[in-house]
């Protein structure tokens, strides 16, 4: 099983919308998927109540001590993918989720405040030596702000942009919110639209990043051995103490 965690300090970055969109895109690609909700605000649970399809299941886990045993139980049960949606800010539960992530996705809108707010999440991912990528979300269709934001994210991570920025960028369109209101993912609400296409492309990017296939059951260490070795060399560039916790 692989675990993808969406986390960032800033609220309103679109973590829940991305989690839902990616979960359905992964299901459509043939994966078994569980959505894990660690945000007491309950966005995923509310979405599921509006939904007629029982899949993907949304499972609330609000205590840090429950993260590891539940992920292990899901993996032992044959689940292929867990996608964890976290609350804004940093908490023990979010840190526990990042600790067990095969990939930490850090959404950010193309604004200086959102990009600055990624620092604390980035530090946790580096401290636990977890692979991470930024997702530039809710972007305008075009404009210089996008270029400025991508440059700033590369500076924030002290890595080449190709190493840290997921593709494609996810544009701001009304069908993201309209699909949530209908209990759907954007890939179900407007399957032939540009937003659905972007989410499918983002899922394919993640598949490539983690070297996944719907039939695989390999661990991150077996499939992507370089991932956990990529960050220590740059960990000292993070603010604060980045020594790996014991």
What pLDDT, on the 0 to 100 scale, is given for residue 238? 36
∠15-39-240 over CA atoms, to 5°? 75
Q: Nearest CA to 22 among 38, 54, 44?
A: 44
Q: Residues 166, 105: contact at Cβ < 8 Å?
A: yes
Instruction: Tell me the per-residue pLDDT of 93-130, one tens digit each, with 9 for 90 and over.
Output: 999 999 999 999 999 988 888 888 888 999 999 999 99
Tokens 């956990």 belong to residue: 228
pTM score, whole prediction: 0.81
Q: Nearest CA to 124 among 221, 225, 238?
A: 238
**Segments making up each domain of the chain, as ranges:** 2-235
What pLDDT, on the 0 to 100 scale, is given for residue 145? 55
Hey, which residues does 91 pair with through a beta bridge? none
SS3 content of the chain, % helix, strand, coil (to 5): 45, 15, 40
Mean pLDDT (10-residue bins), the chain, 246 residues:
95 95 97 97 97 96 97 98 96 97 94 85 95 91 58 57 80 94 97 96 95 60 38 37 43
201 phi and psi angles, rounded to 5 deg: -65, -40
CATH top-level class of 2-235: alpha beta
In whole angstroms, what is the distance from residue 190 CA to residue 185 CA? 9
Q: Residues 125, 108: contact at Cβ < 8 Å?
A: no
Side-chain-facing half-sphere of 212: CA atoms under 13 Å: 24
**SS3 label, residue 45:** helix
């Amino acid at each position: 099983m692989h675990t993808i965690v969406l986390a960032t300090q800033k609220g309103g970055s679109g973590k829940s919308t991305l989690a839902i969109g990616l979960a359905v895109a992964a299901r459509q690609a043939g994966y078994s998927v569980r959505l894990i909700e660690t945000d007491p605000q309950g966005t995923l649970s509310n979405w599921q109540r509006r939904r007629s399809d029982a899949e993907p299941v949304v499972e609330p886990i609000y205590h840090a001590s429950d993260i590891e045993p539940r992920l292990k139980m899901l993996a032992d049960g044959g689940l292929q993918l867990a996608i964890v949606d976290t609350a804004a800010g940093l908490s023990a539960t979010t840190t526990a989720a990042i600790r067990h992530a095969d990939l930490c996705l850090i959404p950010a809108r193309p604004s200086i405040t959102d990009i600055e707010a990624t620092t604390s999440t980035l530090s946790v991912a580096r401290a636990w030596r977890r692979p991470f990528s930024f997702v530039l979300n809710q972007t305008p269709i075009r404009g210089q702000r996008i270029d400025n934001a991508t440059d700033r994210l590369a500076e924030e991570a002290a890595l080449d942009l190709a190493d840290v920025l997921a593709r494609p960028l996810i544009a701001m369109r009304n069908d993201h919110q309209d699909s949530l209101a209908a209990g759907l993912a954007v890939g179900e609400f407007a399957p032939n639209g540009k937003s659905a296409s972007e989410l499918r492309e983002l899922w394919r990017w993640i598949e490539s990043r983690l070297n996944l296939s719907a039939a695989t059951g390999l661990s991150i260490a077996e499939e992507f051995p370089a991932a956990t070795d990529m960050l220590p060399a740059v960990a000292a560039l993070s603010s604060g103490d980045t020594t790996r916790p014991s």
